[in-house]
Amino acid sequence: MPVNQMTSKEVTRKVINKEPLFILDVRNENDFQNWKIEGESFKYLNVPYFELLDGVEGIVDQIPADIDVLVVCAKEGSSIMVADMLSEEGLTVSYLKGGMKAWSEHLEPIKVSDLKDGGELYQFVRIGKGCLSYMVVSNGEAALVDAARMTDVYLDLAQEIGANITQVLDTHLHADHISGGRKIAEATAATYWLPPKDATEVTFQYQPLEDGNEVTIGNTTINIHALYSPGHTIGSTSFVVDETFLLSGDILFIDSIGRPDLAGMAEDWVGDLRETLYKRYKDLSEELIVLPAHFMIIDELNDDGSVSEKLGILFAQNHGLNIEDENEFRKLVTENLPLQPNAYQEIRETNMGKINPDEEKQREMEIGPNRCAVR
């Protein structure tokens, strides 16, 4: 009986559609506990591959027959072998093509909204890592915000919809993933924008992105208005798009707020973070739809798989926006932090242009969940 494969895109559709899936993860327990494929209707069994080398008879009765079964490992090799053994026992199973490496890199483009005068806004959901990036399209031109290093997905969509990428922007110097911004700008001759306060050590040319900049694409009615919003980094900059959407970078998420410590400056930047969230953002329209650069948990996905919420609702429901006591806020964002992202210093140096790791090294640097939020 041939063993089936399931792609990351197919698994993503199951996540979005809340379909059931039974996952047999054959990585070691620590890797599984640290980072796994998450879905609202998913069930799991974690048995390390080395425990199955002598056969799968001991777990056959734990594998359901009434829902799809997916075997998962780091790169796919071990999962193919386990899937083969289960198939020989008469079970119908699939393995994840490319393993968790492929899961980490999958980007799912989702159209968020039409814009005024015929424009469009797309969100790219990096489902396995929680990263979100954006494409604003108008009149045959496109701007990218916080692009990931898997650049083909953006270039392919632009070609598909007949748009030229003319502007590439990063809301800040990223520490949890490698930016594709510079690579895309070089490939398309687009202008690459970066907040200058985050770019003091970069080794390449960029256009300084400062408070009040307006980046216009296509029809002049669609503009990307830069709003200086420090706190996650000293240069963090948000964008108000089409007077409707707030691209908040890593400052504000749906269920949490940004952490200020990834450049070692938590005590210095906590005041900036509070001022951005409690003053700068408070002065904006509550009707703005917040589009963050990350999501933390699968529950933050909307029914179509996108991630968004009105600013007014976040001010009512997000705990990080409702801490009146400044000392309590300071304690929350300096003491209540998750582990720092994998290889975050190397990622920062890559995004500065100081080092240039090969593709396999970049994959290793990014493996694991994002950790850009205060818990």
Which pLDDT tens digit goes with each residue over 84-116? 999 999 999 999 999 999 999 999 999 999 998
The pLDDT tens digits for 173-221 are 998 899 999 999 999 999 999 999 999 999 999 999 988 888 888 875 5
Q: Residue 153 and residue 374: Cα distance in Å, rounded?
A: 30
**Beta pairing class for 141-145 and 164-169:** parallel
Active site residue 73: yes
Could you tell me where in the chain the CATH 3.40.250.10 domains are found? 4-102
On the question of pLDDT at 1 being above 60, the answer is no
Instruction: State how far the Cα of 78 lies from the Cα of 91, in Å rounded to an integer.
Output: 17
State the Cα–Cα distance between residues 281 and 184, nearest whole angstrom.
30
Q: How confident is the model at residue 342 (pLDDT cuts 50, 70, 90)?
A: confident
Q: Smallest Cα–Cα separation from 315: which of 351, 286, 289? A: 286
Q: What is the pLDDT of residue 262?
A: 61
Q: How far apart are CA 129 and CA 342, in angstroms?
A: 12
DSSP state of 107: -
304-330 average pLDDT score = 95
- Helix/strand/coil for 229: coil
- Confidence bin at 308 (pLDDT 50/70/90): very high
Please name the helix (run of DSSP H) or strand (run of DSSP E) that holds residue 58, with its range, or none.
none
CATH of domain 107-366: 3.60.15.10
The whole-chain average pLDDT of the chain stands at 92
Question: Of 73, 262, 273, 367, which one is the catalytic site residue?
Answer: 73
Residues of the chain within CATH 3.60.15.10 domain(s) are 107-366
Question: How many whole angstroms separate alpha carbon 373 and alpha carbon 295?
Answer: 9
Return the CATH class of domain 4-102.
alpha beta
Of the candidates 237, 247, 239, 246, the residue with the CA atom closest to the CA atom of residue 210: 237
Q: How many CB atoms lie within 10 A of CB 278?
A: 17
